[in-house]
Amino acid sequence: MRKLIVFNNVTLDGFFTGLHGDFSWAHGGMDDPDFHAFAAKNASGGGLLLFGRVTYEFMASYWTTPAAQQNDPKVAEGMNRRQKVVFSRTLTHASWSNTQIVGSHMVTAVRKLKQEEGPGMAILGSGSIVAQLAPENLIDEYQFVVNPVVLGQGRSQFEGLKQRLNLKLIESRTFRNGRVYLSYQPA
């Protein structure tokens, strides 16, 4: 059975994006060699990527560019090579390589994907997907990089969740740049 992981950057006040989609606060910290190595290793792994439409369009607009190839060629190569599934009721065409669109029945589709043979799956960003899959017990691990920034307002990746999630810490790591990696499993 495939494992499904969520990996997201969050602020100290728990937001994964600013109110208007601002994510610039998460792009720093690469001057810390340990954090840079951690981020590169994590991003260049294998497996299936799951996205909502907004995150998909954001990622596709960057990782397919010459700037991405120049700034981080290993990560760009991995992101462009990996299989991707985008859940969207409005997207009709996927321009990013190796992308499949699933327009409805997301929970059923993820259950089926988890039963298939193959490498693990990861959700990057895509808070609405996280909030829908979490109560269905389809997420096996929640990985967060807590950034030393407070936005005051923004979007929680658990927005709309109607029940409490009890999680247990399985790993943590602190970086010199002030970021903290936390990994949880459902309790």
Give residue 80's identity as a one-letter amino acid code: N
Q: Pull the structure tokens for residue 113.
A: 């994907």
* 45-86 per-position pLDDT tens digit: 678 999 999 999 999 999 999 998 998 887 888 889 999 999
- State which residues form the domain around 164: 8-20+42-140+150-176
Residue 168, in any domain of the structure: yes
Residue 13, in any domain of the structure: yes
* 134-172 per-position pLDDT tens digit: 999 999 999 999 999 999 999 999 988 888 999 999 999
**pTM confidence score:** 0.92
Q: What is the CATH number of the domain that holds 51?
A: 3.40.430.10
Residue 121, in any domain of the structure: yes
> CA 54, 59, 65: angle at the middle one, nearest 5?
135
Helix (H) or strand (E) holding 110: helix 106-115
Structural domains of the chain, count: 1
Helix (H) or strand (E) holding 146: strand 141-147
Residue 109, in any domain of the structure: yes
**Percent residues over pLDDT 90 in the chain:** 70
Q: Left (φ > 0), alpha (ψ -120 to 50) or beta: where does 137 sit?
A: left
Q: What is the pLDDT of residue 170?
A: 98
CB count in 10 Å sphere of residue 44: 16
Residue 43 and residue 157: Cα distance in Å, rounded?
Answer: 20
Of 4 and 30, the structure prediction assigns the larger pLDDT to 4
Give the mean model confidence (pLDDT) for residues 113-117: 94
pLDDT of residue 44 exceeding 70: no
Q: What is the pLDDT of residue 167?
A: 97
Average per-residue pLDDT in the chain?
Answer: 91
Q: What is the pLDDT of residue 36?
A: 81
